[in-house]
Amino acid sequence: MKSSLAVGAFVREAFLEHKATFVPGEPRDLMDSMCEEIAATTDPTSSFYKEEGGIIHSFHRIQNEPRPYLLYISPEASAIKSLEDLFLGGAETVSFVTRSHLFSRV
């Protein structure tokens, strides 16, 4: 949990730095491409659309009954979460493969 919060802070800081320094039409990496997509999107149903972002339909329980609710996610928050997932997923894969390889040799 502590490490995922640290990764989240790292990714958030890196994304905001990329947002401040990216040059449209000259993406350096995935973060720049996401910044460019946020700036260029005109489709109001896109999760990259302006400041509104996407809507996540979800459920929570009140007295054991599921109740629907809408959760609005800004484009920045959506991009940052996607980047966090990629980073943490890659780290978990490397960790799993390393452990599997080490323990298969015992």
How many helices (H) and strands (E) would you count in the chain?
A: 3, 2
Q: Residue 69's domain spans which residues?
A: 2-104
Number of domains in the chain: 1
Comparing 55-69, 71-85, 91-105, the range with the smallest average pLDDT is 55-69
Distances (CA, A) of 101 to 3, 91, 92, 93, 105: 23, 15, 14, 12, 7
pLDDT in tens, 36-77: 888 888 887 777 776 655 555 455 555 666 655 555 677 888
> At a CB cut-off of 8 Å and minimum separation 6, what does 49 contact?
41, 42, 43, 75
pLDDT in tens, 3-29: 777 888 888 899 989 989 989 899 999
Q: Is the pLDDT confidence value at 30 over 70?
A: yes
